[in-house]
Amino acid sequence: MDQRLRAADGHEFDCWMIAPEGAPRGGIVVLQEIFGVTAQLKSVAARYAAQGYCVAIPALFDRQQPATVLGFDQGAAGRDLMMQADIADISRDIAAAIQAVQAIAGKVAVMGFCWGGGLAIHAAQHLPVAGAVVFYGTRLSAYAGHPLQVPVLGHFGRHDDHVPMDMLQQAQAEWPELTVHLYDAGHAFANDARASYVAAAAELAHARTSDFLAQVLA
């Protein structure tokens, strides 16, 4: 269901939230790709709500263009909005979502896809989370220079032209504690609404994520 949250600077934004049946075993804040809060991301949230987590997806484009959800063929428009976004503002919005989920579920982890995967690294450096999961996070070098404060699990495709191997190797050198799993896939391999979807890789990544979340949110 849709909620309205307020960031520390007064900005109000949409946040889609789903609660589990019964008492939550923890919380997850899902950080979007460059397409907004899509139906596909909501299905990811539902997957983890079924495992007992309270899940929120903040609308991180609301400062630039409220209520924006783009088609997967509108990458250029999504990149433009991403480039307009200020990391300090985005961090405030993520922090507000974390706080909202904490009030319901206690410990919170972040899980990000593509642009949101890089933002999950930022959250693991600066925000009060118990852990972070990175699905093919992009622009990793933008977050260099700050240590990870919590465990981070990363899922990357060996054939990802958005995250080439040299970029990933630099990230592993920057954060040697980062746990990385590689899959025989390209970018967005876990998005089951796109042609890039690789079911075997996606299911293995989600299984590993479930194990990781059970540990960091225990």
Asked if residues 42 and 69 have their Cβ atoms less than 8 Å apart, the reply is no
Residue 45 and residue 41: Cα distance in Å, rounded?
Answer: 6
* pTM, full prediction: 0.98
Encode 73-103 in three state secondary structure.
CCHHHHHHHHHHCCHHHHHHHHHHHHHHHHH
DSSP-derived secondary structure letter, 26: -
Per-residue pLDDT reduced to its tens digit, 7-44: 999 999 999 999 999 999 999 999 999 999 999 999 99
* Domains of the chain, earliest start first: 2-216 (3.40.50.1820)
DSSP-derived secondary structure letter, 150: S
Rounded to 5 degrees, what are φ and ψ at 6?
-125, 125
Per-residue pLDDT reduced to its tens digit, 92-151: 999 999 999 999 999 999 999 999 999 999 999 999 999 999 999 999 999 999 999 999
- Give the pairing type, strands 152-157 and 131-135: parallel
- Please give the full DSSP string across 106-127, using - where no structure is assigned: SSEEEEEETHHHHHHHHHHHHS
Residue 211 and residue 152: Cα distance in Å, rounded?
Answer: 13
Question: Looking at residue 149, what is its pLDDT?
Answer: 98
Question: Looking at residue 54, what is its pLDDT?
Answer: 98
Per-residue pLDDT reduced to its tens digit, 54-80: 999 999 999 999 999 999 999 999 999
Question: Looking at residue 140, what is its pLDDT?
Answer: 96
Per-residue pLDDT reduced to its tens digit, 152-191: 999 999 999 999 999 999 999 999 999 999 999 999 999 9
Q: Which of 158, 86, 156, 157 is nearest to 122 (CA)?
A: 86
Residue 1 has pLDDT above 90, yes or no: no
The two tokens of residue 181 are 């799993």
Asked if residues 179 and 209 have their Cβ atoms less than 8 Å apart, the reply is no
* Sign of the torsion angle spanned by Cα atoms 190, 162, 152, 25: negative
- Please report how many Cα atoms fall inside a 13 Å half-sphere around the Cα of residue 204, on the Cβ side: 15
Q: Which of 130, 99, 97, 107 is nearest to 30 (CA)?
A: 97
Question: How many beta carbons lie within 10 A of that of residue 70, not counting itself?
Answer: 18
> How much is the mean pLDDT over the chain?
97
Helix (H, G, I), strand (E, B) or coil at 204: helix
Sort residue 71 into left (φ over 0), alpha (ψ -120 to 50) or beta.
beta
